[in-house]
């Protein structure tokens, strides 16, 4: 527990310093190898208005947890200053949203509503849920991934980025990441009393269970459907090693996503799935609970991220001491959150112990305690990066474990 307390205190301190560095110009500060998120030309980082931005709100989420721990309202004040840009995105330019709307608006609008009860934050969160719901494809029963729903590429997108699968291959596509975004729909259904949101979320969860979760409790990253008829076409992959592989963070999204879905619906199949997938994750992650980024990564394969070889990683992965370079600590942090949700509903002592093992390992071996490094959690994504989402989910897990706080999802 000492390591967990130390790491959470460090996270709170970093949240305060990060607020100072970000100031009034919050953007998607991407992952980096040294944890220096904010170095470089600020204009090179995507603003919230850009459809490609999905991680910006993990910084506001960290401030939310810092507020819950310290009750210092300076954290909330900092978050509030961004209200207009969050409002404009869904009220003025709703086409510039995607399936990751939950990642943007849950750690912002929902978090602020939970902290303050401010009705305008509820309105903002529900409007974001409206836009996410519009991505639902009734033929097929899934929420469409990536891209604009009108199929157009925004004029502000760089020509090279416009060639990305994000824009060119989104039709008929669902991805495992969306299991976490369903929380926004479930929340909107609860807050408004309207079953519309819950039905869509549950339909997507059922489709994911049918086509993504394999009999051996592994999970694929993506699945394509005929965009007209909704008929299943087959497995796709954009983040794992291959179509047949087992992406660790994909399993993590599913574990936490199904645990949350159970909490909202009380559908036993969702909790059963979360438990099964969590056990498989623990089984494959080794003694300290921190997984390799893809459980089916060939032993002699160096880091590959989102299906693209990154030549700058020149370590020899055949040497046992270099295996650590292929880890994904963010996946462990997310699964720890999922397990903490699972054990609220069902006694699973082995999983509870596994979550403590994961969190202790992360805090002792992988947290960067250097106050001059904005990043918190190292060795994410199988390529040694720090990311805001990994930092966030570690902070959420520690807040839940040490203080008993309820998740915001």
pLDDT digit string (tens) for 275-300? 999 999 999 998 999 998 999 987 76
Strand, helix or coil for residue 51: coil
Q: Is residue 201 part of a domain?
A: yes
Is 157 a domain residue?
no
CATH number of 307's domain = 1.50.10.10
Give the pLDDT of residue 316: 61
pTM higher than the cut 0.85: yes
The rounded radius of gyration (Å) of the Cα atoms in the chain is 20
Cα dihedral 29→32→38→41 (10° resolution): -90
- What pLDDT shows up at residue 95? 96
Q: Which domain holds residue 359?
A: 2-137+178-219+247-403
Query: Residue 167 — very low, low, confident or very high, per pLDDT cuts 50/70/90?
Result: confident
8: exposed, middle or buried (C-beta count within 10 Å: 0-12, 13-18, 19+)?
buried
pLDDT-based confidence at residue 318 (cuts at 50, 70, 90): low
Predicted pLDDT at 309? 44
pLDDT at 370 over 80: yes
Residues 296 and 241: beta-carbon distance below 8 Å: yes
Residues whose CB falls within 8 Å of the CB of residue 211, separated by 6 or more in sequence, listed in order: 174, 223, 232
Mean pLDDT along residues 220-248: 95
Alpha-carbon gap, residue 82 to 25, rounded angstroms? 9
Of the ranges 87-96, 283-292, 317-326, which one carries the lowest mean pLDDT score?
317-326
**Is 376 domain-assigned?**
yes
SS3 for 17? Answer: helix
Q: How many whole angstroms from its chain centre is CA 369?
A: 23
Per residue in 112-142, pLDDT tens? 999 999 999 999 999 999 999 999 999 999 9
Q: How many CB atoms lie within 10 A of CB 392?
A: 29
Give how many domains the chain has, as a whole number: 1
Host H or E run for residue 165: helix 165-168
For the chain, the residue count is 409
Residue 70 lies in a domain: yes
Per-residue pLDDT of 21-66, as tens digits, reads 999 999 999 888 899 999 999 999 999 999 999 999 999 999 999 9
162 band by pLDDT with thresholds 50, 70 and 90: confident
Q: What confidence tens digit (pLDDT) does each residue in 199-226 have?
A: 999 999 999 999 999 999 999 999 999 9
Residue 258 lies in a domain: yes
> Contact, 127 vs 97, CB < 8 A?
no
Alpha carbon distance 289, 52 (integer Å): 31
What is the pLDDT at residue 43?
94
Which among 242, 221, 382, 222 has a CA at the least distance from the CA of 304? 382
In contact, 97 and 89? CB cutoff 8 Å:
yes
Residue 72 falls within a domain, yes or no?
yes
Answer yes or no: is 165 within a domain.
no
Task: List Cβ neighbours of 132 (8 Å cut-off, separation of 6 or more).
Answer: 97, 99, 101, 102, 143, 181, 184, 185
Diameter of the chain measured on Cα atoms: 56
Gap between the Cα atoms of 18 and 61, Å rounded? 12
Per DSSP, the residues of 61-117 read HHHHHHHHHH--THHHHHHHTTHHHHHHHHHT-GGG--TTHHHHHIIIIIHHHHHH-
The pLDDT of residue 98 is 97
DSSP states along 125-142? HHHHHHHHHTTEETTTTE
Can you list the pairs that 320-325 forms with residues at least 24 positions away whose Cβ atoms lie under 8 Å? 323/292, 324/379, 325/379, 325/382, 325/383, 325/384
Q: Is residue 233 part of a domain?
A: no
Q: Share the mean pLDDT of the chain.
A: 93
Residue with structure tokens 């210092």? Answer: 72
**Confidence at residue 99, expressed as pLDDT on a 0 to 100 scale:** 97
Q: What pLDDT sits at residue 311? A: 44
Structure tokens at 375: 């990043």
Structure tokens at 225: 């459907």
Q: According to the model, what pLDDT value does residue 315 have?
A: 57
Share of the chain above pLDDT 70, in %: 93
């Amino acid at each position: 527990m000492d390591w967990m307390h130390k790491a959470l205190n460090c996270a709170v301190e970093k949240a305060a310093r990060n607020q100072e560095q970000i100031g009034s110009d919050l953007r998607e500060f991407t992952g980096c190898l040294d944890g220096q998120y904010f170095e470089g030309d600020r204009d090179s980082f995507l603003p919230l208005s850009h459809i490609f931005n999905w991680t910006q709100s993990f910084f506001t989420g960290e401030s939310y947890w810092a507020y819950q721990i310290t009750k210092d309202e300076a954290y909330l004040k900092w978050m509030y200053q961004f209200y207009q840009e969050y409002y404009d995105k869904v009220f003025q330019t709703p086409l510039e949203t995607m399936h990751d709307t939950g990642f943007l608006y849950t750690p912002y609008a929902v978090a602020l509503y939970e902290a303050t009860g401010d009705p305008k934050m509820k309105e903002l969160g529900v409007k974001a849920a409206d836009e996410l719901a519009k991505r639902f494809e009734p033929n097929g029963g899934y929420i469409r991934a990536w891209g604009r729903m009108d199929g157009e590429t925004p004029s502000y997108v760089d020509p090279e980025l416009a060639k990305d699968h994000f824009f060119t291959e989104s039709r008929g596509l669902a991805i495992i990441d969306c299991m976490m975004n369903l929380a926004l729909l479930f929340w909107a259904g609860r807050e408004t009393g309207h079953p519309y949101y819950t039905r869509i979320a549950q339909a997507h969860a059922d489709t994911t269970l049918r086509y993504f979760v394999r009999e051996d409790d592994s999970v694929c990253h993506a699945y394509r459907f005929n965009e007209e008829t909704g008929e299943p076409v087959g497995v796709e992959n954009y983040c794992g090693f291959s179509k047949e592989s087992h992406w660790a963070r994909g399993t993590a999204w599913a574990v936490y996503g199904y645990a949350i879905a159970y909490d909202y619906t009380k559908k036993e199949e969702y909790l059963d799935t979360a438990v099964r997938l969590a056990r498989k994750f623990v089984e494959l992650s080794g003694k300290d609970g921190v997984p390799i980024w893809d459980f089916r990564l060939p032993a002699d394969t160096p880091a590959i991220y989102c299906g693209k070889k990154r030549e700058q990683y020149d370590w020899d992965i055949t040497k046992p001491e270099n295996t650590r370079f292929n880890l994904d600590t963010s996946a462990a942090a997310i699964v720890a959150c999922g397990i903490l949700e699972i054990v609220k509903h069902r006694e699973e002592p082995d999983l509870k112990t596994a979550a403590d093992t994961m969190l202790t390992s992360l805090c002792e071996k992988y947290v960067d305690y250097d106050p001059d490094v904005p990043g918190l959690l190292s060795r994410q994504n199988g390529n040694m990066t720090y990311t805001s989402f990994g930092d966030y989910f570690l902070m959420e897990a520690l807040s839940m474990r040490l203080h008993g706080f309820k998740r915001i999802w």
